[in-house]
A and B are shown apart, each in its own frame.
Chain A
Amino acid sequence: AQTVTQSQPEMSVQEAETVTLSCTYDTSENNYYLFWYKQPPSRQMILVIRQEAYKQQNATENRFSVNFQKAAKSFSLKISDSQLGDTAMYFCAFMPASGTYKYIFGTGTRLKVLA
């Protein structure tokens, strides 16, 4: 069975600084997708970034980038130039590409950006 682990329940960062959120996962699948989602206080889930396991290049989206280490089954999110609007819960998620469609999430990291 696949599992997703986020070991940092809460983190804080000063505005304009950089922060890295950790995520590890366990799977026997060779091909899969990994995601980071953001959930602000409104509770609306927002996709931040995605990574296909077959791609070695790390994904980037503006101030957000990932460090994908397939052998280590690690998928961390780096937020550069943190902004107050980045304050939210962040969830790491996994979906196999084998067609089973089972999409699972980690327990989340609550990030607070300090002014």
Chain B
Amino acid sequence: DGGITQSPKYLFRKEGQNVTLSCEQNLNHDAMYWYRQDPGQGLRLIYYSQIVNDFQKGDIAEGYSVSREKKESFPLTVTSAQKNPTAFYLCATWGLAGHGELFFGEGSRLTVL
């Protein structure tokens, strides 16, 4: 089935540890996005990528890093520099053939202990 797979769904991390969230898509979409969702703050853009080997910072990129080595994959690393990493993270994709709609994964819930 076509879609976006995020993993893991739930993740626990100790303070000071880096953690990587996976996002894989088989929709053949060019653009991929990472958002962070906190209560009362909506979806805030962390990073986005329009093509392979290229990505741009969003509004809250500090403490995060990404890579886009393959069209299908856009992993997000939450580093120890991120001061408040506990949140719900959503990956999304966008394709030229669509009507501007973003397609979302099911999300990953990260909790820092």
Contacts and interface: CB of A to CB of B under 8 A. Distances in A.
A23 B110 CA distance: 29
Given A44-B106, A91-B43, A104 B59 contact: yes
For chain A, give the interface size range: 20 to 34
Nearest to B101: A47
A108 to B, nearest CB: 5
Interface stretch (B19-27, B34-42, B69-77, B79-87): B34-42
A74 B93 CA distance: 26
A102 B90 contact: no
A44 B104 contact: yes
B50 interface: yes
Contacts of B43: 91, 105, 108
Nearest to A3: B59
B33 interface: yes
Contacts of A35: 100-101
A54 interface: no
Nearest to B100: A33
The 8 closest A-B pairs by CB, nearest first: A107-B42, A105-B43, A45-B104, A33-B100, A108-B42, A47-B101, A101-B31, A101-B50
